[in-house]
Structure 1
Amino acid sequence: MWAGALWKHPKAITKSGLQHLAPPPPTPGALCSEPERQIRSTVDWSESATYGEHIWFETNVSGDFCYVGEQYCVAKMLQKSVSRRKCAACKIVVHTPCIEQLEKINFRCKPSFRESGSRNIREPTFVRHHWVHRRRQDGKCRHCGKGFQQKFTFHSKEIVAISCSWCKQAYHSKVSCFMLQQIEEPCSLGVHAAVVIPPTWILRARRPQNTLKASKKKKRASFKRKSSKKGPEEGRWRPFIIRPTPSPLMKPLLVFVNPKSGGNQGAKIIQSFLWYLNPRQVFDLSQGGPKEALEMYRKVHNLRILACGGDGTVGWILSTLDQLRLKPPPPVAILPLGTGNDLARTLNWGGGYTDEPVSKILSHVEEGNVVQLDRWDLRAEPNPDAGPEERDEGATDRLPLDVFNNYFSLGFDAHVTLEFHESREANPEKFNSRFRNKMFYAGTAFSDFLMGSSKDLAKHIRVVCDGTDLTPKIQDLKPQCIVFLNIPRYCAGTMPWGHPGEHHDFEPQRHDDGYLEVIGFTMTSLAALQVGGHGERLTQCREVVLTTSKAIPVQVDGEPCKLAASRIRIALRNQATMVQKAKRRSAAPLHSDQQPVPEQLRIQVSRVSMHDYEALHYDKEQLKEASVPLGTVVVPGDSDLELCRAHIERLQQQEPEGAGAKSPTCQKLSPKWCFLDATTASRFYRIDRAQEHLNYVTEIAQDEIYILDPELLGASARPDLPTPTSPLPTSPCSPTLRSLPGDAVPPKGEELIEAAKRNNFCKLQELHRAGGDLMHRDEQSRTLLHHAVSTGSKEVVRYLLDHAPPEILDAVEENGETCLHQAAALGQRTICHYIVEAGASLMKTDQQGDTPRQRAEKAQDTELAAYLENRQHYQMIQREDQETAV
């Protein structure tokens, strides 16, 4: 409903658009004397909640435009720069001192509830549009189909558009496009109407006023008796009541966001949901948890929940649903904002949120399939047979959680997680970056390996699964870690049970079959887990009785503790209802008229650099112009992106020399490239590697498919590469310029060194193909790789690592330095990563006896030193495992 006064006055519509009818502007002196009103950044659920209240967040939006207009802008009057605020629900921007002016001109935000007045509260009502003036508007006018002229400065007083902050319809601000009758017409709530909770469902109740004290006491006593029967939540009075109007077509959604998950992602994504939905269906979990909201909305039919956070956030919500015993329990979808996100990966929601538009996420939640998830009870009691000598003062008799959704484990991995948690609690300021956290994990893992704290795990446990004693088998295996796994994923995406089809002696692994997978890990299999390996498959079972004879580190869904000698029973608790992201079968824009999918598609592949993507991903046309053609692939018409990836990578392998029309650029694809959706949203966005099997090629591309290559140079940094519109043969790397006579003399080594020194990648590549020796050294025994590192050329380094013999990695110059020593001393983190992953030794020392890690320490790059130390430990573990195997 439009809350501004201007819509009640038809004369307010002028040739230049809709103008505010407002009182005369205040004087600066009057402004200073008025008390400041509280600026809210959260939804107010109290009795005193203001109807149509804005939800303000600080913003650094460009331009000086202020929604109150130049005539009433306080910042304009005071002639000074002040902070700006943006309403997340209706997206207007004002200067902070101008917020009170909005109230004076009677402009309110879209109403998120309705008042309980004298009219019958059961009377059906509808939602009216909430029209807002826009000085900037994307898209096209709903009436005439033409775009909106953009005004970027405050001095342009013209309003270019009028749009509804509920349904997002937009019109030109002129009578020919926006008619008066549209002001009061009902609003459809837009494309996401099925998941939006209408404000007409949310009723603000008035607290009953009793005049007689005796009546108050009697009712209070009666109220207490009823409350004791109903439970503490059902009997308590709330200012807001939810009165839904059920419809089989609706799937109302509650969004719970953990702002602490995923760095600052949670805090930012709240604002997007407040724009697309009713603000009263979006909840910040740091403001009290999910229980109050779930209790309030418990009678809403077809309710769905979106948990925005890590696996711990999902577990929190599922446990709350257990407590409330909602019938039927609402299915839970996941927007992964954490670090591990193994449950999210299992249900096809991916390993982490990148930049997919919130509008697409809402569509996925609405269209997702409802599935079941096993949840497992954990019951621990002290082991009466454990002697007093086995007591540990730091151990506890209670588990951190009494139910798990992902896994329960004990041994090495739990010890590492426990060390991390204890250190973070003691010194939280030292764990403020994901890189440092990973380095701490790696260092703790190596220390635990050296100490061998988990090597005797098998001697102190007894495992009985479905009545079968597995202890002898475990003692033969001598594992340092045992995992009881409910879902296929573990430890940030690994598959410890193995990939489907690899375990012929067992039933396929499922998250809804009532069975747990029991897996043992040695240090060798733990190391192999990160590169596609798996543990020792012990059994699949419905019930576990685990007995420990001493204090052992354990973890429940990532929550660790040191558990005293105990007897632990694991059994199926119940099944949670979840939403699994569905594979979209809808015809793509290529076939929007429902034409049959062709047998084969011939699609041009173009790649985009990270620099260009970050700068231009909101402008499709400019980003397309900045892309670099890679080649053409021919794929089946019903291919998903997983199959298309194989064709694109084969495109690079067909011609290892990179020649031919299929490879117009010299640079190879990096291993971290990903697909870009260029069709289904108003801007480009990345597709998670784990979700490629859910998307068809025809859904994200028309006649050209775009991929993001994070290691490709941006358009502004590619002086030697052809632009997309330039003829390919003019490139210095083109096949016509590379061809040399068969009897040509191989290039001299000095030419190769000069190309490496000058960072002339294409020249180096041309000389190599003409027969140049990539192992050539200069007078100081410096290799081409030494020279490439000294100039910081990532392209040349990658090329040499891909094409030169492996001996180049550990080749030393006169002073005993390898290229890794040099890169560490210069603080070149990316190049160090390239060289280490290629297999360079981290134990080699120079003439001063320094390893690459010590060179990084001397350069005062502590994070790089920590990374090198971690990889050095890993190499030592690998070497020890190899020696043990021999």
Structure 2
Amino acid sequence: MRKAITKSGLQHLAPPPPTPGAPCSESERQIRSTVDWSESATYGEHIWFETNVSGDFCYVGEQYCVARMLGPSLPVLQQKSVSRRKCAACKIVVHTPCIEQLEKINFRCKPSFRESGSRNVREPTFVRHHWVHRRRQDGKCRHCGKGFQQKFTFHSKEIVAISCSWCKQAYHSKVSCFMLQQIEEPCSLGVHAAVVIPPTWILRARRPQNTLKASKKKKRASFKRKSSKKGPEEGRWRPFIIRPTPSPLMKPLLVFVNPKSGGNQGAKIIQSFLWYLNPRQVFDLSQGGPKEALEMYRKVHNLRILACGGDGTVGWILSTLDQLRLKPPPPVAILPLGTGNDLARTLNWGGGYTDEPVSKILSHVEEGNVVQLDRWDLHAEPNPEAGPEDRDEGATDRLPLDVFNNYFSLGFDAHVTLEFHESREANPEKFNSRFRNKMFYAGTAFSDFLMGSSKDLAKHIRVVCDGTDLTPKIQDLKPQCVVFLNIPRYCAGTMPWGHPGEHHDFEPQRHDDGYLEVIGFTMTSLAALQVGGHGERLTQCREVVLTTSKAIPVQVDGEPCKLAASRIRIALRNQATMVQKAKRRSAAPLHSDQQPVPEQLRIQVSRVSMHDYEALHYDKEQLKEASVPLGTVVVPGDSDLELCRAHIERLQQEPDGAGAKSPTCQKLSPKWCFLDATTASRFYRIDRAQEHLNYVTEIAQDEIYILDPELLGASARPDLPTPTSPLPTSPCSPTPRSLQGDAAPPQGEELIEAAKRNDFCKLQELHRAGGDLMHRDEQSRTLLHHAVSTGSKDVVRYLLDHAPPEILDAVEENGETCLHQAAALGQRTICHYIVEAGASLMKTDQQGDTPRQRAEKAQDTELAAYLENRQHYQMIQREDQETAV
């Protein structure tokens, strides 16, 4: 193992150097944010993303840090503003100009492949650790079991830990914990070793040289003639070859991420997968689609696929698997990043990704059950019986897709979707938020209802299912929408066929039984669908022949078009292999793995406000302290969260029931959800659609935590005084003047002077004597402005607790609020107090800057990131309120 020691004393442990003749060094190459699959790929190349991590000290050390060497010649602000980048695969942070210096200290990223050669291919290979120094490290030392001392100063140069970016093992950075012999030992690849594709499986192939002898040229020409008989994919040379070592315990995973899904969630989550897995098993679908990767990994045994995106992304991958005809086809799991995610809901993956740790997602993919999913062919041809008068200039003869996994529909719902797609293509800038999209859908649906464009649908269609003509039944029903459904979910989670047990005249609905459910909707049943209703169940069938006599809007898995008069045949195509998220087989006891599951559990319920969760969900202990007790519930020991939800919702309805009456008068909001407090290093939300998959004993130890998005900050901290609570007494406060006689109320100048001098006791005394906390000076500055300028936390807290709410967003002459001022001064704690009290983060000063932008100008990137997070939350709250109105 090569070592390079900088002048600061840092010892960088680098992976072995590449073989002679390897491609050019990183200093001669562009800064990459994607994996390089070309023949010029660099061994141990980093994958860089921009970051706002604070701190001037970058990984290369003082001796090679370009920003530090230029420091004396640059102003202080310019030194701090040098951009930084973070490697997604090994999580080191460097200044952008210092990236090329990594070659000088011989520090490469964890190698994602190995070089092919006559010796390397035959020799037994194993994965070595990739050791990286850390200035911050969570968890405990693997050797001594003690935690790592956290250095809270942002400019600390001290190394506290050495960890492996493959297996994530961490040790104290001292000889007593990290022995030299551990450097050379094989790496286990960590807790997710079963799904990680080892770099030893991926070989870089060398292109044949042009200086071969004639005989070799002849042999190569003969080989080309033979390979020309193969498919276009098989005969093409690739820079990389996958040579797996099959093992029954392994379930190697390919991750495909659609970065545009879910409001660009995919672009952020891809970095987490690069950290936990081999970067060469993670693919960005915007860089060319899934076909190349699936073709390259087609010989990997027990392969699994994780599709990160919406239902359209899943359909794209399934269609590609059909084209390649992989035997056996790898099962596909889903990380839902789209909007509807009906297929993901059906397979228990939930209605959308919130904040579940990627490590948990990988475990679910590994443990998931393999199931089958019916896929249906659509074949459309022009209706020969339609006359010229039935033609429509805007109609097409082709469907947008020739196969569907979820549903095929025609009528009202397809017309609304079509108008939305056409409007978005014409004016994409007007459809940049979920709230606007929802409003457009609602407006289009309402106008379509008034116009009654689909009321005559039954007159223009003929439906034959398994040889039975349903047209008379459809004409009696007069539906405005007909749906051919393959899965139970439709339209973002609704169940149009009805819940299990509600359809006694039909077989239970399944996604693998080779049957379609045919459902008709009137406007009344469509409206009831969103509140638990269902449509008119027409039949279950294996084959459909649908004939339309005029142009009608249709949609295939959400892709709409206006289809000319046609004859459409629907028949089973095949079955796709999918991964269904599994429920744990047995509930683990609360206290010990050896104890049996008790018959009943008496467990405390505490709720957390959204603003506390956003600020503290990475710190379990602080978040637990910020929680508010709600009461106690008694549930069976093997209860899942669905059953537990019913008990919790009865808490406030039954004050004298199982638990004590809630200490807070604020009732639970209908949007509350469970928090997992035990199975990860931080809290995370559990999708309501997945509550039946989780036992109470899996997410809690002695206490259940729930997230209530409408819980007020004041309720979350009952120990703090509120404007309506009795004023606290203080040993520094003498008897108020109002009790000493008819003294005149204090002047505003006295209050300002007390705030300027950070005299908390004097300010409290003046307030009790009748002083006006909303007093302003000649520059329109409030007492809160003055308290912020002096950095007085006690005075700020007192004013926030006792002054009217208007003080939060009051502006002085230059348009600054107190939050602008605190952000510009880098006062993080005071900013947290003001934001928590409800100050607006969208207000701008005379230069048009928000508080977040003032923090950025002050070079406090962490404060700016916090304010940006809270600003985003405020915008979501506002959208929800407007939607409710």
TM-score norm. by structure 1 comes to: 0.79
User: CA 1:801 to 1:636, structure 2 compared with 1: closer, same or farther past 3 Å?
Assistant: farther
User: CA 1:456 to 1:201, structure 2 compared with 1: closer, same or farther past 3 Å?
Assistant: same
User: CA 1:226 to 1:625, structure 2 compared with 1: closer, same or farther past 3 Å?
Assistant: same
1:61 Cα offset (Å): 1.1
1:259–1:267 contact (8 Å) kept in structure 2: yes
3-state SS in 2 of match to 1:293? helix
* Counterpart position of 1:803: 802
1:666–1:762 contact (8 Å) kept in structure 2: no
TM-superposition CA deviations, 1:2-34 (whole Å, max 9, x none): xxxxxxxxx989999862499999999999999
2:723–2:802 contact (8 Å) kept in structure 1: no
TM-superposition CA deviations, 1:603-658 (whole Å, max 9, x none): 0000000000000000000000000000000000000000000000011x434799
1:264 Cα offset (Å): 2.0
1:129–1:166 contact (8 Å) kept in structure 2: yes
TM-superposition CA deviations, 1:790-841 (whole Å, max 9, x none): 9999999999999999999999999999999999999999999999999999
Alignment partners' CA distance in 2, 1:494 and 1:735: 64
1:853–1:865 contact (8 Å) kept in structure 2: yes
User: CA 1:758 to 1:470, structure 2 compared with 1: closer, same or farther past 3 Å?
Assistant: farther
User: CA 1:124 to 1:831, structure 2 compared with 1: closer, same or farther past 3 Å?
Assistant: closer
User: CA 1:853 to 1:113, structure 2 compared with 1: closer, same or farther past 3 Å?
Assistant: closer
3-state SS in 1 of match to 2:22? helix
User: CA 1:599 to 1:239, structure 2 compared with 1: closer, same or farther past 3 Å?
Assistant: same
Alignment partners' CA distance in 2, 1:377 and 1:809: 60
Alignment partners' CA distance in 1, 2:843 and 2:152: 59
CA RMSD of aligned residues (A): 10.6
2:168–2:190 contact (8 Å) kept in structure 1: yes
Q: Structure 1 vs Structure 2: percent identity of aligned residues?
A: 98
TM-superposition CA deviations, 1:545-597 (whole Å, max 9, x none): 00000110000000000101000000000000000000013443625423210
User: CA 1:301 to 1:751, structure 2 compared with 1: closer, same or farther past 3 Å?
Assistant: farther
1:738 Cα offset (Å): 31
* Counterpart position of 2:377: 377
1:35 Cα offset (Å): 7.6
1:779 Cα offset (Å): 36
Q: Which sits farther off after the overlay, 388-397 or 219-228?
A: 219-228
1:659–1:734 contact (8 Å) kept in structure 2: no
TM-superposition CA deviations, 1:510-561 (whole Å, max 9, x none): 0000000000000110010000000000000000000000110000000000
Unaligned residue ranges in structure 1 (runs of 5+) = 1-10
Q: What is the total number of aligned residue pairs between the two structures?
A: 874
* Counterpart position of 2:28: 36
1:625–1:724 contact (8 Å) kept in structure 2: no
3-state SS in 2 of match to 1:343? helix
User: CA 1:729 to 1:856, structure 2 compared with 1: closer, same or farther past 3 Å?
Assistant: closer
User: CA 1:706 to 1:790, structure 2 compared with 1: closer, same or farther past 3 Å?
Assistant: farther
Alignment partners' CA distance in 2, 1:152 and 1:145: 21
2:7–2:63 contact (8 Å) kept in structure 1: no
TM-score norm. by structure 2 comes to: 0.79
User: CA 1:595 to 1:866, structure 2 compared with 1: closer, same or farther past 3 Å?
Assistant: closer
1:757 Cα offset (Å): 31
Q: Which sits farther off after the overlay, 745-754 or 603-612?
A: 745-754
Q: Which sits farther off after the overlay, 857-866 or 580-589?
A: 857-866
3-state SS in 2 of match to 1:223? helix
3-state SS in 2 of match to 1:540? strand
Alignment partners' CA distance in 2, 1:447 and 1:854: 41
3-state SS in 1 of match to 2:458? helix
1:62 Cα offset (Å): 2.2
* Counterpart position of 2:72: none
Alignment partners' CA distance in 1, 2:876 and 2:275: 51
User: CA 1:821 to 1:469, structure 2 compared with 1: closer, same or farther past 3 Å?
Assistant: farther
1:447 Cα offset (Å): 1.2
Alignment partners' CA distance in 1, 2:118 and 2:802: 81
User: CA 1:146 to 1:866, structure 2 compared with 1: closer, same or farther past 3 Å?
Assistant: closer
2:628–2:716 contact (8 Å) kept in structure 1: no
3-state SS in 1 of match to 2:462? strand
Q: Which sits farther off after the overlay, 853-862 or 623-632?
A: 853-862
* Counterpart position of 1:831: 830
User: CA 1:844 to 1:540, structure 2 compared with 1: closer, same or farther past 3 Å?
Assistant: farther
User: CA 1:601 to 1:880, structure 2 compared with 1: closer, same or farther past 3 Å?
Assistant: closer
1:880 Cα offset (Å): 28
Counterparts of 1:168-567 in structure 2, within 5 Å, are 168-211=168-211, 222=222, 225-567=225-567
3-state SS in 2 of match to 1:822? helix
TM-superposition CA deviations, 1:773-797 (whole Å, max 9, x none): 9999999999999999999999999
User: CA 1:245 to 1:719, structure 2 compared with 1: closer, same or farther past 3 Å?
Assistant: same
3-state SS in 2 of match to 1:12? strand
1:222 Cα offset (Å): 4.4
3-state SS in 2 of match to 1:874? helix
1:370–1:579 contact (8 Å) kept in structure 2: yes
1:37 Cα offset (Å): 3.6
User: CA 1:844 to 1:232, structure 2 compared with 1: closer, same or farther past 3 Å?
Assistant: closer
* Counterpart position of 2:74: none
3-state SS in 2 of match to 1:654? coil
1:666–1:733 contact (8 Å) kept in structure 2: no
Alignment partners' CA distance in 2, 1:452 and 1:496: 22
1:160–1:172 contact (8 Å) kept in structure 2: yes
Q: Which sits farther off after the overlay, 859-868 or 473-482?
A: 859-868
Q: Which sits farther off after the overlay, 749-758 or 235-244?
A: 749-758
Alignment partners' CA distance in 2, 1:827 and 1:144: 38
User: CA 1:552 to 1:823, structure 2 compared with 1: closer, same or farther past 3 Å?
Assistant: farther
User: CA 1:453 to 1:165, structure 2 compared with 1: closer, same or farther past 3 Å?
Assistant: same
2:733–2:764 contact (8 Å) kept in structure 1: no
3-state SS in 2 of match to 1:421? helix
Alignment partners' CA distance in 1, 2:721 and 2:880: 49
1:554–1:561 contact (8 Å) kept in structure 2: yes
1:120 Cα offset (Å): 4.8
Q: Which sits farther off after the overlay, 777-786 or 566-575?
A: 777-786
User: CA 1:881 to 1:21, structure 2 compared with 1: closer, same or farther past 3 Å?
Assistant: closer
2:400–2:556 contact (8 Å) kept in structure 1: yes
1:50 Cα offset (Å): 0.1
3-state SS in 2 of match to 1:30? coil
Alignment partners' CA distance in 2, 1:102 and 1:786: 46
1:412–1:454 contact (8 Å) kept in structure 2: yes
1:171 Cα offset (Å): 0.1
Unaligned residue ranges in structure 2 (runs of 5+) = 70-78
Alignment partners' CA distance in 2, 1:855 and 1:657: 52
Alignment partners' CA distance in 2, 1:159 and 1:658: 54
Alignment partners' CA distance in 2, 1:174 and 1:555: 63
User: CA 1:150 to 1:410, structure 2 compared with 1: closer, same or farther past 3 Å?
Assistant: same
Q: Which sits farther off after the overlay, 146-155 or 297-306?
A: 146-155
1:152 Cα offset (Å): 3.8
3-state SS in 2 of match to 1:345? helix
User: CA 1:724 to 1:250, structure 2 compared with 1: closer, same or farther past 3 Å?
Assistant: farther
1:63 Cα offset (Å): 2.3
* Counterpart position of 2:698: 699
User: CA 1:368 to 1:874, structure 2 compared with 1: closer, same or farther past 3 Å?
Assistant: closer
Q: Which sits farther off after the overlay, 55-64 or 669-678?
A: 55-64
Q: Which sits farther off after the overlay, 336-345 or 593-602?
A: 593-602
User: CA 1:694 to 1:876, structure 2 compared with 1: closer, same or farther past 3 Å?
Assistant: closer
1:15–1:174 contact (8 Å) kept in structure 2: no
1:16–1:173 contact (8 Å) kept in structure 2: no
Q: Which sits farther off after the overlay, 322-331 or 820-829?
A: 820-829
User: CA 1:351 to 1:831, structure 2 compared with 1: closer, same or farther past 3 Å?
Assistant: farther
Alignment partners' CA distance in 2, 1:20 and 1:479: 70
Alignment partners' CA distance in 2, 1:300 and 1:799: 64
TM-superposition CA deviations, 1:116-160 (whole Å, max 9, x none): 123051432110000000011110000000011112446432211
User: CA 1:751 to 1:444, structure 2 compared with 1: closer, same or farther past 3 Å?
Assistant: farther
Alignment partners' CA distance in 2, 1:26 and 1:880: 54
Alignment partners' CA distance in 2, 1:597 and 1:104: 58
3-state SS in 2 of match to 1:236? coil
User: CA 1:452 to 1:767, structure 2 compared with 1: closer, same or farther past 3 Å?
Assistant: farther
* Counterpart position of 2:678: 679
3-state SS in 2 of match to 1:35? helix
